[in-house]
Structure 1
Amino acid sequence: MRISTANLYANSTSQINTLQGALARTQMQLSTDRRLLTAADDPVASARALEVSQSQEINAQFATNRNSAKSSLAQVESTLQNTGDLLQDIQTLAVTGGNASMVQSDREKLATELEGRLADLLGIANTADGSGGYLFSGYMTTTQPFTSTPTGAAYQGDQGVRQLQVSDSRKLPLSASGSAIFEAIPTGNGTFQTQAGSANKGAALISSGSVVDRQAFNSTKYGIEFAVSTDTPPVTTYSVYNTSSNPKAVVSSGNAYEAGKQITFGGMAFDIKGAPANGDTFSVEPSQKQSVFTTVTDLIATLRLPGEGSAGKAALSNGLNTALDNLKNAHDNVLTVQSSVGAHMKELDYLDSTGDDLDIQYAATLDDLVGLDTVKAISDFSQQQMTLQAAQMSFKTMSGLSLFNYL
């Protein structure tokens, strides 16, 4: 069979080009550490690898979101810790104000100190988030949450809670609204509140009380009015009124008063101690929501009352007891929010662990789909290199054959 020179050169060039292409492809696989260089190499695996790569990128973005959430929640937790410490300090000052050995000038000093604590509390509530906004203003991040008022402070934010997507199926709050932390504080014992009338002239003190029958308790407002006879010795009785109705309705009347004896009605129980004067009144109403700033402001006003005489001391003690109940509720509320923040931070740790496991899984899947068997690739590269060199040498030899070399 005769092979023309042109055919020899064409076939040899084509084979060498094919070998060089295979060698170059193997070299590219080694340099990129990828088995698939184009989608045409394996369309199914390439499509699947694209899906896994996108999932891996989303998982990485969730990890970034979790880091941002941790930073924000850590700042909130620290701020709430400071708030709790400050409220404990205020409670201590309130207890000190009830010391019988203190005179009016001493209580005035406490009131002045509490004004500083109130300013500190307002400053904490207006804590900035470090990115041009405020922690506790809800969605209105650029609006200062609280402004000072004569009765405490007014909330300027909204009830929104900013959230961030931290996993495929989970959003976590980055903070809490200032209203939920500093304003939505139940008064009294958290269910109902007992208070002495502002015009009382006796020396009676009323306790916070508790609910003893949940089924009998409702939102009715009650009033207690004392009557002291002119007999010798005087007889003290009290009547209970339903003040929710207009006019007020009598619940019971002519009840004999015994200091410290439990008084029960409407599913509630409490006691009154001391000596009430004729016409003294007390109210028993369902708890309301009150701002902690109002509570501290009222406490300051209470400390500045003229706590002299039996009536003055009773008014001071009743006012301080009310303030202590409300401060305790405020502190409990802060602790509840702080506990929720801690739970969210712990959940982020769990989600981080899950995200790390997912990342490992995605990496393993991608390696199965597009990863390169390096040992095999190196072996193939060496074999292809030797084959190419052999082809080049044989072509050189064949192209050098000619009859003119023997003439």
Structure 2
Amino acid sequence: MRISTPQFYASSSANYERTFGNVNKTQQEASDFIRVRTAADDPVGYARLLQLEQQQNMLDQFKGNITNVRNALGSSESTLNAIGAVLQRVNELAMGSGNASFTDADRKANASELASLEDQLFSLMNSRDENGKYLFSGSKGDTPPYVRNSDGTYSYQGDQSQLMLQVGDMLSLAANETGYSAFEQALNTSRSETKQTAPLPDDGRVSLSNGQVSGSATYNDRFRSGEPYSIEFTSSTEYKILDAGGNDVTLEASQGGKFDPKGDNISINFRGVDLRLKIDFKPGDEGNPDAAIAGHTFSLSSKADSISGTRSPGNTSSEQVTDAKITDPTAYKAAFPGGGAVLKFTSATDFELYAAPMTADSRPISSGTLSGNTATAAGVSFELSGPPSAGDSFGVKVDTHQNQNILNTIGQLRGALNTPQDHDPAARQAFLASLDSAIGNIASATNQVSSSISAIGGRGQALDVQAETNEALGIENTKTQGSIRDSDIGEVMMRLEMQKNQLTASMQSFAKISSLSLVNYI
């Protein structure tokens, strides 16, 4: 086969360039020992490297999220610990205020310290993080979680949303603790009440306090199913309790319905509810004490829900809801939204009631027309200060008395401590009942704060475990990428030496062959 001179030069040049390119590539590989730079180097390996790099990027993101969650939870935990310390002092003051030797001046001194602690708690519960966001407002970080109302009570303005951050392939954790879970879910021990039904007016001989819930499970399972109850004193040493169906349930009360009328602190426990009983005989009762006490009757039941309405800021008129009360319990239980409502006027006289929050596609659950200045919807009557304007709306809140935040508990305790009671047995009895309520609610609030701290601790442990898992995955990811991308040092050096020899041989053969000529053989 004949090879022309141009073919020879072209073939030799291509071979030289290929060999020279291989040498350059191998020299670069020998300098950093990276085998796969582009998809052309190893299509399958390159695709796997892309997957591993994506995983590494996710692990880096998880690491940043873990740091953010840790910082956020650390701020919440330290604030909750500070709140717990304040609550401990509040509890000490409450317990000490029951001292029989305390005077009105002593109790007022405690009330003054409680006011300072209340302000301190209010500030702590409205704490902000390093970014200026409120810690306990849920997703409403720019809204203070608690506001002080004009009547001295406190309202929660945040929501129940937890800010979730992904910290692992299958794990997302909340970076915040809401005020709703930390403070609003504290059980209210003062959820039941007594009313004297006979004799009327009250002759002052029998004083029976509102009930304090001592066992929530028993209260929910047993007490609620039989209310309202009637407690009738049959003598100066016995009483009987009838449930709503007229059944005698006295044996479920402490000591089976018996008591010592001479006791200074008579306690009755019935179906998870504790009541204080005080007997005050009047002059002349000594001859027949049973007749003096028999016939005193009280009703005992859970506190009825209370309704309140507030004017919306965008209203045209300045009218307010001056009173709201349940007028039809059956309709209320059947239709009124427990999470709150919005009363909106479509005209100066016509109104509609919506479940809160009201959205563009919300449908009214009730409607009607004003009767004077009264709007009645879903069993609740709202009394307005005057005729509203079309488009006015009013926010409606429902208090079921199941929960109570600690700020309101302290406020109520301050009121009880500031009420004079020296030389007034009835006022003293009312104070002791209020003190029982406060101590129970303080304990409930403390437990709720402790539960939130425990929840944060549990999330912290989960973060530690996930951080270790992510670190292990990152190490394996780096090893796997290295096994695909990196070169074998020995193999690269041998290949480089061989390619250099090939390049030298190619150059020598080109020089040798190019010197050949037919003239030399003529």
Aligned mate of 1:285, from 282, 298, 302? 302
- For 1:232, the equivalent position in structure 2 comes to none
Q: Which residue of 2 aligns with 1:324?
A: 439
Using the TM superposition, name which of 366-375 and 355-364 deviates more. 366-375
Say whether 1:49 aligns with 2:49: yes
Identity of aligned residues (%): 28
Distance 1:221 1:293, change over 3 A: farther
Q: How far 1:355 moved relative to its partner?
A: 0.8
Deviation of the 1:88 alpha carbon: 0.9
Q: What aligned pairs does 1:31-70 form with structure 2 within 5 A after superposition?
A: 31-70=31-70
- Opposite residue 139 of structure 2, the aligned amino acid is Y
Q: Name the CA distance, whole Å, in 2 between partners of 1:261 and 1:323.
A: 19
Contact 1:111–1:303 under 8 Å retained in 2: yes
Q: 1:333 aligns with which of 448, 456, 463?
A: 448
Name the counterpart of 2:259: 257
Question: What is the distance in 2 between the residues matched to 1:213 and 1:183?
Answer: 20
**Structure 2: distance between partners of 1:11 and 1:128:** 77
Query: Relative to structure 1, is the Cα distance of residues 212 and 271 closer, same or farther in structure 2, using a 3 angstrom cutoff?
Result: same
What secondary structure is seen at the aligned counterpart in 2 of 1:185? coil
Compared with structure 1, are the counterparts of its residues 81 and 112 closer, same or farther at alpha carbon in structure 2 (3 Å cutoff)? same
Say yes or no: does 1:97 pair with 2:97: yes
1:307 maps to 2:308: no
Q: Does 1:164 align with 2:181?
A: no
Distance 1:126 1:219 in 2: 39
Cα deviation for residue 272 of structure 1 reads 4.3
User: Does residue 494 of structure 2 align to residue 379 of structure 1?
Assistant: yes
Structure 1 CA distance for aligned equivalents of residues 450 and 507 of structure 2: 82
Cα shift readout 1:90-149 (whole Å, capped 9, x = no counterpart): 101111222222221221121111111111111111111222321111121211111012
Give the Cα separation in 2 of the matches to 1:124 and 1:202: 43
Shift in CA distance, 75/99, structure 1 to aligned 2, threshold 3 Å: same
Partner of 1:114: 114
SS in structure 2 at match of 1:40: coil
Q: Which amino acid aligns with 1:324?
A: I
How does the TM-score come out when normalised to structure 1? 0.82
* Cα distance change, pair 48–209 in 1 and its aligned pair in 2 (3 A): closer
How many angstroms apart in 2 are the aligned matches of 1:262 and 1:327? 20
Per the TM alignment, residue 365 of structure 1 is displaced from its structure 2 partner at its CA by 2.1
Q: CA–CA distance in 2 between the matches of 1:349 and 1:301?
A: 46
Higher mean displacement: 79-88 or 279-288:
279-288
Deviates more, 1:284-293 or 1:331-340: 284-293
Which moves more between the two structures, 21-30 or 109-118?
21-30
Distance 2:176 2:280 in 1: 48
Q: Which moved more, 1:55-64 or 1:322-331?
A: 55-64
| Greater relative contact order structure (CA < 8 Å, 6+ sep) | 1
Amino acid at match of 1:183: E
**Equivalents in 2 of 1:241, 1:140: separation in Å?**
49
The number of aligned residues is 392
Contact 1:307 1:315 in 2 (8 A): no
| CA apart distance, 1:168 | 1.7
User: What does the per-residue CA deviation read over 1:349-401, in whole Å, with 9 as the maximum and x for residues that have no partner?
Assistant: 11111111111222222223222212321332233234334443554566567
Distance 1:122 1:313, change over 3 A: same
Determine if the alignment matches structure 1 residue 10 to structure 2 residue 10: yes
Which one of the candidate residues 272, 275, 278 is aligned to 2:279?
275
Q: Which amino acid aligns with 2:147?
A: T
What is the match of residue 322 of structure 2? none
- Supply the RMSD in Å over aligned alpha carbons: 3.6
Q: CA deviation at 1:261?
A: 7.4
- How far the C-alpha of 1:222 sits from its partner, in A, is 4.7
Q: Which runs of 5+ in 2 are unaligned?
A: 197-201, 251-255, 282-292, 304-400
SS of residue paired to 1:147:
strand
1:357 aligned to which of 458, 472, 475: 472
- Report matched runs for 1:170-319 at 5 Å: 170-188=171-189, 193=191, 209-210=214-215, 216-222=222-228, 235-240=236-241, 256-258=258-260, 259=263, 263=268, 265=270, 267-268=271-272, 270=274, 272=276, 274-275=278-279, 283=300, 285=302, 288-309=402-423, 310-319=425-434
Quick one: which amino acid aligns to residue 153 of structure 1?
A: Y
The yes-or-no answer on 1:152 pairing with 2:153 is yes
The aligned counterpart of 2:253 is: none
Change in CA separation of 1:45 and 1:276 when aligned onto 2, cut-off 3 Å: farther
1:343 to 458, 470, 474: 458
Quick one: structure 1 residues 37 and 252, their matched pair in 2 at CA, closer, same or farther if it must change by over 3 Å? Answer: closer
Residues 239 and 250, structure 1, Cα contact 8 Å, conserved in 2: no
* Greater percentage in helix: 1
Partner secondary structure for residue 171 of structure 1: strand
Q: Distance in 2 between matches of 1:180 and 1:215?
A: 24
- Which segment is superposed worse, 105-114 or 217-226? 217-226
Q: AA paired with 1:17?
A: E
Aligned to 2:333: none
Gaps of 5+ in 1: 230-234
Where 2:40 maps in the other structure, the secondary structure is helix
Asked if structure 1 preserves the Cα contact closer than 8 Å seen for 2:212 and 2:273, the reply is no
